[in-house]
Structure formats: C-alpha cells, structure tokens
Amino acid sequence: MISRPNERKPLVSHIYTADPSAHVFGGKLYIYPSHDEDLDLPDDDDGGQYMMKDYHILSMDSLDSECVDNGVALSVEDVPWAEKQMWAPDAVFVNGKYYLVFPAKDKEGIFRIGVAESDSPTGPFKSQDNFIEGSYSIDPAVFHDDDGRIYCYYGGLWGGQLEMWQSGSFNKDEKRPEGDDKALGPMFAEFSKDMKSFVSKPVNLVILDEKGEPLKASDEDRRYFEGPWMHKFKGKYYLSYSTGTTHYICYAVSDDPAGPFTYKGRIMEPVLGWTTHHSVLEINGEWYLFYHDSELSKGNNHKRCVKYTRLEMDDDGNITTVKPYD
C-alpha cells in the first residue's frame, strides 16, 4: 500500500544511487548511498561493474519533501589507502562528530573498511590514513546501541571477498562453502569509542533455522549473502540482509547483538536488477524500508536508484513482506 507521494519512487534521478543507509540526525533524514557511475561496463561475478568513485549524501526535511543531493562528500582520491570501488557506506553520529564508514579496494585489490569524519552529516568527510586494522570485505552497517556501544556488521560473498578470508588471511582461491556446509554469516566487531579501530576480533555470525541448526550454504533462499543491517525492536536485535543469488531481503532475530540469530522471514521480494540492499529505520513511530532497484536505467544492474516504502511490523516484531511493485 502506497500512502506518500515519494513512496516507491526514485528519490533522485540526476545521478544513480544504491545501497541506502538511512538515519535521522537532528530531526532530519539523511541517506548515505553508493553513487553508481553512469558507465557501460559488462556484468561479472566479481562486481567489476561497480566502479564507484565517490559518495554523495542525500537529505530530506521530511519523507514527503524534496530529496536534496549535497554534492561530493568523499572521493576515492582523498582516501590515502584506497584505490577504487567505493561500495555501500553507512554513518553514525558519536562524540559530536559524524563518521562515514565505507568499503573500498586497497592498492592490492583487497576490500577493506575505512572511516572518515566530519562536523556535518553531509560532509565533506576527512578519511583516516589507513583502513581499520583487521577489517576486510564490504557493506559495513554501524549500529549504535542504547548502552553506547557501537557495532559493525559487514561482509559480502563473491565480489565482496568474504569467503576468501575463511582461513584467517586473504586467499583469493579459497573454496566457497557449498551444499551442506555451514553458510557464512556477516562479520561482527565492536568499534572503539574514537571510531578508529575494532576493540574485538571480528567474528562470523551464525544464523540458525527453526530447528536451531545453522543455515546451510545450499539454502540460498535464506542464507546470508551481503548487505547487513541492524535494528532493535523491544530489546531484540533484528539482523536483515540480502540473499544475493535469490535476491530476497530477509531477517533473523536474537537477544544478543552478537547472535546467534534465528531466521524469521522475508522483508522484501526481489526488485528489478540483480542486487538488493536496504536499511530499516523508525521515523515518528512508523517503520520504513529504504532500498534500491534499477527502475531509472530500466534494469541495468549497476545503475540503480534509491527508494523508500513503509514497513509493516506487528507488536511482536513480525514484518510483513514488501512486494515492491504491488
């Protein structure tokens, strides 16, 4: 059901945007998306077509107002450790500063996660000199818990290189989990208070099925692929993510931010385009899903546009699956 004029429509159309991480800072809505380049590149399983060079932060006074592009907030040229592919970012406000947390490939072609800071939610952001020690892979989602602790959920298979770290160091020829192998989950680490490092060694999270068994690699309708997000509802932790190859956004619940999580269901059916990536945000007591599809480019996988829609969640936290084109 669509009830707002901007709902399920591209929020901006002068640039391609994807992977929206939405937050309310100081009563205003900010969206931290990837900025897809208008390039004609062939699709490959390594994500070589996603050649993003910078970030633009979007802002809206309300869900019904115009969505403003605040210009370049951080460019790959200004990140000393990075070479290319500025993929899905997130942001957090802490210590009176705004921190942009983002992945990019370093000069050796390995995805790492970096942090940049600003006095403004829209930047410009100044990058730290190096990536977070011990970080790897993509799609960081930062969760600021009620007790002040700040967690990072991250990681993505295939082009996101997550499976290449199973031995503890980078091996590009590492075999992917398959069949009855336990599926990889997202990575989880806690940030230091100054946002410069992880205080704990990152761990791979487990998602269990209804019988309490870890999801298997072959369970592609439910297992984790990329794009984690965390929201909290009535004291429980809701991990949501993309299933990649089957194009669903699913969720799993735990009493602990570090899991284990139990699979609960689907948040959204597939959108136009291969990737699906989202954030979940409460605004004035209502829940919203920010997501992307490829409507603007009529289906091009790497020319996407961010949108939002209302999310229905009952008192027990059960989420009604969004059918994006109904």
By annotation, the residues acting in catalysis are 19, 226
Residues 194-230 as b or e (16 or more Cβ within 10 Å = b)? ebeebeeebebbbbbeeeeebbbbebbebbbbbbbbb
Q: Per-residue x/- mask for ligand FUB, residues 274 to 303, rule CB under 6 A?
A: -x-x--------------------------
Residue 126: CB minimum distance to ligand FUB, A: 23
Angle at 203 between CA 197 and CA 207, to 5 degrees: 135
User: Based on CB atoms, which residue is closest to ligand FUB, 50 or 99?
Assistant: 50
Residue 32: CB minimum distance to ligand FUB, A: 12
Tally Cβ neighbours within 10 Å of residue 48. 14
Question: Are 7 and 28 within 8 A, CB to CB?
Answer: no
**Helices H / strands E in the chain, number of each:** 0, 21
The sign of the dihedral angle between the CA atoms of 61, 308, 145, 166 is: negative
Cβ-Cβ contacts under 8 Å for 202 (sequence gap 6 or more): 134, 135, 187, 188, 189
Residue 51: CB minimum distance to ligand FUB, A: 10
Question: Are 125 and 73 within 8 A, CB to CB?
Answer: yes
User: Can you name the residues that pair with 257 across neighbouring β-strands?
Assistant: none
User: Based on CB atoms, which residue is closest to ligand FUB, 50 or 237?
Assistant: 50
User: Based on CB atoms, which residue is closest to ligand FUB, 19 or 117?
Assistant: 19
Which one among 31, 60, 67, 88 touches ligand FUB, defined by CB under 6 A? 88
The residues in 111-170 that bind ligand FUB, with binding defined as CB under 6 A, are 138-139, 156
102 is an interface residue for ligand FUB by CB under 6 A: no
User: Based on CB atoms, which residue is closest to ligand FUB, 114 or 227?
Assistant: 227
Which one among 19, 117, 293, 295 touches ligand FUB, defined by CB under 6 A? 19
Q: Per-residue x/- mask for ligand FUB, residues 41 to 60, rule CB under 6 A?
A: ---------x----------
| DSSP, residue by residue, 89-153 | -EEEEETTEEEEEEEEEETTS-EEEEEEEESSTT---EE-SSPPTT--SS--EEEE-TTS-EEEE
User: Based on CB atoms, which residue is closest to ligand FUB, 138 or 268?
Assistant: 138
18 is an interface residue for ligand FUB by CB under 6 A: yes
250 is an interface residue for ligand FUB by CB under 6 A: no
The residues in 203-242 that bind ligand FUB, with binding defined as CB under 6 A, are 226-227
What residues line the site for ligand FUB (CB under 6 A)? 18-19, 34, 50, 87-88, 138-139, 156, 226-227, 275, 277
